Structure 1
């Protein structure tokens, strides 16, 4: 999962960024200026954008309003010390999807991120995408491996699509389990490993790499 964090408090920014990477296994871009947050959001794909309300020059509310006015539809989480009802209303009216008041527990931040990532914010994606020696077709939910059609189970397809969207990046077992089976699913990491094993066999190539004790990444 790709996260953009815009936080001008250096100490807090470092802490949040570190925890998102270490505990969540997320890829995090951290900026300290609202203008940078605006530019980064439009230049890259992020699963969740986290904006601090009080930033110099362009604050989080202004960034949020400007992004929404230009058609940006991705999930935006607002961080702020303002906890009055009218402040919450202002944040949501500006286009924020969720609102978290400082100080907060990191577990709550992770829960908000998970909830936002599960909503229907997915950008329009190409019908088919090719990588290495295979092509994934999102309409037919199958793959062609060296020009031979191969059927995938629903979970195998979802896992391969997730790895493709984050190719070259390490996805932890926790992230994979959350995104494919759901955070509350009563399954263990063993189901992730088993699905990867089946998927590797169908791909007929060693392109899903195991990162010992962490997770997996797709790399040709």
Structure 2
């Protein structure tokens, strides 16, 4: 999953970037609201974490621009503003959730998981379950028929993306967008390596190659 963090507090961003990367997310960071307006047009994101008090353009205006353009990108507002009026204003503008500063990092992670699963029509529980597979996000492992399999960070990112999109053909570009953030150098071979390793662990039939299209997770 690839996240967009729009936050001008450098100290907070320095805490959040390793937090999300350590939990298997690719994450891009912006500080200016004007850059944030354009970002979803240039890259594929699964969720935006959006501060309201941004330089250049207020976070609420950024959200309003996204929604007026028809962007359905899930948005979690993260802000020091804590009045009910401002919460309602953000939700009316199209936010999916709202978290006030200060906050506990674990709560932010759980809220991000919940928004992502709702946006994919998946029930929110401690494990993401599809068929006989159960992905444990806290341990970054997967269970199959009572057997737990440890996953590398890349395998975990890829499998989570597949399990949030069962039966859907995902292109190489879409999958690579979930494996890398904007600063990572992309290796043309890495996707195939991760797919091959997941097949060896979970069964060849779990991921189907669609020639000329991409991959499809069958569950």
Q: TM-score, normalised by structure 1?
A: 0.59
Q: Where does residue 2 of structure 1 map in the other structure?
A: 2
| 1:77–1:99 CA contact under 8 A, matched in 2 | yes
Q: Structure 2: how far apart are the matches of 1:163 and 1:94?
A: 31
Q: Deviations over 1:149-202 (max 9, x none)?
A: xxxxx97x939957954238659xxxxxxxxxxxxxxxxxxxx96884313797
- Quick check: which has more Rg, 1 or 2? 1
Structure ranking higher on relative contact order (CA contacts 8 Å, 6+ apart): 2
The question of whether the paired residues in 1 share the 8 Å contact of 2:199 and 2:207 is answered with: no
Are residues 116 and 202 of structure 1, via their aligned partners in 2, closer, same or farther at CA, if it must alter by over 3 Å? closer
Distance 2:202 2:171 in 1: 14
Residue of structure 2 in register with 1:86 after alignment = 85
User: In the alignment, is the contact (CA less than 8 A) between 2:199 and 2:206 conserved in 1?
Assistant: no
Q: Distance in 1 between matches of 2:52 and 2:58?
A: 6
Partner of 2:204: 199
Shift of 1:14: 1.6
Q: CA RMSD in A?
A: 3.2
User: Are the equivalent residues in 2 in contact too, given 1:64–1:95 (CA < 8 A)?
Assistant: yes
Please give the secondary structure, in 2, of the residue aligned with 1:53: coil
Matched positions, count: 151
* SS in structure 1 at match of 2:166: helix
Structure 2: gaps (5+ residues) = 122-161, 181-196, 210-219
Q: TM-score, structure 2 length as denominator?
A: 0.60
2:102 aligned counterpart, secondary structure: coil
Taking the aligned partners of 1:194 and 1:77, their CA distance within structure 2 comes to 34
Partner of 1:17: 17
1:71-220 equivalence runs, <5 A = 71-120=70-119, 158=166, 165-167=174-176, 170=179, 196-199=201-204
3-state DSSP class of the match of 2:81? coil
Classify the secondary structure of the residue corresponding to 1:25: coil
2:31 is matched with which residue? 32
> Structure 2: how far apart are the matches of 1:71 and 1:169?
22
